Structure 1
């Protein structure tokens, strides 16, 4: 089945019908199964990750559920680049598709940030950490107590010194130097 037929003649990410072309989801073997039919707006933003417009990519809320693996992989990578760990965490992919999604990132390179806790242990999205010092949480009126577990953390894009997580039901940013991986 050709990409145009599979997509119904619209961008498989945002649904636009303007400036459509095939986009290979690397690493790929250049087959239609590993390509996505996308519009010129989506393509230009993917190729220039510094220009990612989160409001344009609100469409990923729908495309992330695509049954087409290449569309799901590209949605996963874009959500990660936009720092939408909450949506990434909701996605389910078979192990081989997840490995493909993790094989590369949007704007990926060798300059990827490394998040480390107070002991120098590398942190990853989804980890559980423990707060090592009582922290006043600005704007909330409560203190995040030492010893509090923060589960399923998210990594703050472009800032390896902060993670995000929920404490007392409130999503907050926490300095990694006050955390210990558990």
Structure 2
């Protein structure tokens, strides 16, 4: 899809995520009802839904603070896909979003019901629940092991229904939901 005049003026002829200029095109963000100007590299990585090249996406440190809500939405959605990366988790925790933008970030673009996040026993988990680890988990990049029986309070759900997020030993980590059981 070609860049229209308004999108070209808004973006200044640069990718609104990484500031690249090669092969700019309009990338639709359906949930926001708008488009973002993206370079060929960003478009290719987002279009096929495959694993993202983490090194490219450090550009989100800038784009997530854009004054354009649609750019914020797309930036946060990409960050959520990268939530296993500590820098992406930290950025998601610190970014301020209006309630409307936050709702668009978490909205299911297809309009279909998302698969619920379930614990090891099949119980549906909700944001804010307390869970208990059912096995020792080595936490990559931190040098500690989250011990079996550790309570993780006030969990957050991620875009991936197989993952939850929570704090263990003061560090926010991503936990595979099959390794927890809902407390209480």
Using the TM superposition, give the Cα deviation of residue 56 of structure 1 relative to its aligned residue in structure 2, in angstroms: 1.1
2:24 to 20, 23, 26: 20
- Give how far 1:101 is off: 2.6
Residue in 2 that maps onto 1:130: 131
Q: Which residue of the partner structure matches residue 58 of structure 1? A: 58
Gap runs ≥5 in structure 1: none
Residues 103-122 of structure 1 correspond to what in structure 2 (within 5 A)?
103-104=107-108, 113-118=115-120, 120-122=122-124
Structure 2 matches for 1:1-182, cutoff 5 A?
Answer: 2-27=6-31, 29=33, 34-83=34-83, 84-104=88-108, 113-118=115-120, 120-124=122-126, 126-131=127-132, 135-138=135-138, 140=144, 143-145=147-149, 148-153=151-156, 155=158, 157=160, 160=162, 163-170=164-171, 171=173, 173=175, 175-176=177-178, 178-180=180-182
- For the 8 Å contact 1:79–1:88, the answer to whether it is kept is yes
2: CA distance between counterparts of 1:97 and 1:4? 22
SS at the partner of 2:30?
coil
Rate the CA distance shift 1:165–1:35 in 2: closer, same or farther, 3 A: same
Aligned length: 171
Which segments of 5 or more consecutive residues in structure 2 lack a partner in the other structure? none
Superposition CA RMSD, Å: 3.3
Q: What is the CA-CA distance between 1:7 and the residue it aligns to? A: 1.6
For each residue in 1:112-138, what CA deviation from the matched residue of structure 2 results, as whole angstroms up to 9, or x when unmatched? 5532135644225x53323175x4344
Give yes or no for contact 1:127–1:181 (8 Å, CA) kept in 2. no
For residues 82 and 156 of structure 2, the distance between their equivalents in structure 1, rounded to whole angstroms, comes to 16
